[in-house]
Structure 1
Amino acid sequence: MEALGAHAIAVKAHVGRDEEAQALVQTAVDRFGGVDIFVGNAASGVLKPITEIDEKAWEWTVNINARSILVGVQAAVPYMRRAGWGRVITVTSIGSRRVFPEYGVVGVSKAAIEALTRYLAVELAPDNIIANCISPGVVITGALDFFPRREEMIAYAEQNTPAGRLVTPEDVGEVAAWLCTDAARMIVGQTIEIDGGYSLLAM
């Protein structure tokens, strides 16, 4: 990012812990003077049948994926209100609405993200703080290495995506950036599918 002329810092944090999620926001405030855009993109989870999920697996997954967004936004909103402008972008997945093997607790956490985004959107829009959610399709990143059926999942998505290719991180980043512009200011509380049409097919 700095090579492109932007100022950036890397902060290591376990966002499933409230104090670390809050400290992450505070570090940005201390370094840059505020927070204009909050992107909730942290993801983790336990891949098991839902009937085998114990308390630890549930709390780990939901805290990192969903609760961290709530805590982070709560910490960032005062600075956005002070500035009179803010954007919140959250990231979910098709697993919030469709059932995939051993994805149960992750899917539940993703559904929670979408609901949380809608509630944040309605509460914050009067302050010119706009919240929206992005739901990418299968994106080739290191996260896929944790899926037991990685190659099968990729092949299936490639064959069943009308656009003819999988989603790239650049596809997702461009939509996230656009949602932060004034051109998108009347898109409020929506979940935007970025999947090349994959979710449109009845399978």
Structure 2
Amino acid sequence: MKPIIDLSGKVGLITGIANEKSISTGVAEACVEAGARLVVTYQNEKTRAFIEPVVHRLGLEHVCLMDVTRPETMDETFATIDRAFGKLDFAIHSMAFAKRDDLHGRVVDTSADGFALAMDVSTHSFVRMAKCAEPLMEKAGGGALITMTYLGSEKVIPHYGVMGLCKAALEAATRYMACELGQKNIRVNAVSPGPLMTRAASGIARFDDLMASAVERSPMHSLVTPEDIGALTAFLVSDAGRLVTGGVHFVDAGYNIIG
């Protein structure tokens, strides 16, 4: 009998690996363990140095430059996937960015250019990724698109600012794309982890307080780990999750249900 999470023969794209502690690292580990072949991306040569330990440890052969503010790099990444595999079964979108002043300041003070940049990198890049993935997933007979979101999309989280707006739009995009792509057997979901310390989280003011609150107030009194996120994501992209689409799936020890 095959294991519930079996990704044997599947090809996946994973973005957002920054170092060993990244959410995407946990996702990559779970997918490799389940038998998937992966393509991973890096933003620039400086960031590539930080992901090399993960690449070597997991034995990943396909590593591509992809800076979503440079459309040609996304096009080349998907062209590389097509040349190497001729299909794509799943893609993980795990990236977000906002200027420091816009992230730490009031939403009403957000600059127009800062808002546009945050939405472009954090939200519309998922839409662009889906557009590029669609023909390769059709070749595979279907596929799964996953993005990473956060509770700040629906509740006011201190010091999360404009990123809360980006995540709300990201979750709306997830629902609309799930509806549009479902007829092609392409599923679209969002995973919403509880707070955990990553390089991205380090830019949020008083993030230690947020993690302490999660431990204290969540029903299971625990912090999520990259491995927990990886396990849920691997399930969603596997055949076991074949009829799960359009949802926001929490992995946060139940923190999201507490008022």
* Length, aligned pairs only: 201
* In 2: Cα distance, 1:197 partner to 1:69 partner: 26
SS at match of 2:65: coil
Unmatched segments (≥5 aa) in structure 1: none
- Please report how far the alpha carbon of residue 7 of structure 1 lies from its aligned counterpart in structure 2 after TM superposition: 4.0
Structure 2 residue aligned with 1:171, among 215, 228, 233?
Answer: 228
Cα-to-partner distance string for 1:7-44 (whole Å, 9 max, x where unaligned): 43222322134333333322322333332211111122
Structure 2 residue aligned with 1:117, among 165, 171, 174?
Answer: 174
AA paired with 2:86?
G
Are 2:136 and 1:83 aligned?
no
Are 2:72 and 1:19 aligned?
yes
Whether contact under 8 Å (1:15, 1:64) holds in the other structure is: yes
Cα-to-partner distance string for 1:143-168 (whole Å, 9 max, x where unaligned): 22111212222222221122121110
- In structure 2, what is the equivalent of residue 39 of structure 1? 92
AA paired with 1:30?
R
- Please report how far the alpha carbon of residue 142 of structure 1 lies from its aligned counterpart in structure 2 after TM superposition: 2.0
AA paired with 1:165?
S
TM-score, normalised with respect to structure 1:
0.91
- Please report how far the alpha carbon of residue 191 of structure 1 lies from its aligned counterpart in structure 2 after TM superposition: 0.7
* In 1: Cα distance, 2:115 partner to 2:229 partner: 27
AA paired with 1:88?
L
- In structure 2, what is the equivalent of residue 104 of structure 1? 161
Superposed counterparts of 1:108-147, under 5 Å: 108-147=165-204
TM-score, normalised with respect to structure 2:
0.72
* In 1: Cα distance, 2:241 partner to 2:86 partner: 25
Q: Percent identity?
A: 33
* Range that drifts further, 82-91 or 11-20: 11-20
AA paired with 2:111?
D
* In 2: Cα distance, 1:31 partner to 1:11 partner: 12
- Please report how far the alpha carbon of residue 92 of structure 1 lies from its aligned counterpart in structure 2 after TM superposition: 0.8
SS at match of 1:99: coil
* In 2: Cα distance, 1:182 partner to 1:36 partner: 10
SS at match of 1:142: coil
Cα-to-partner distance string for 1:40-99 (whole Å, 9 max, x where unaligned): 111222312111211221111111111111111101101111221211111111010011
* In 2: Cα distance, 1:79 partner to 1:131 partner: 15
* In 1: Cα distance, 2:217 partner to 2:74 partner: 37
* In 1: Cα distance, 2:61 partner to 2:164 partner: 32
SS at match of 2:87: coil
Whether contact under 8 Å (1:140, 1:167) holds in the other structure is: no
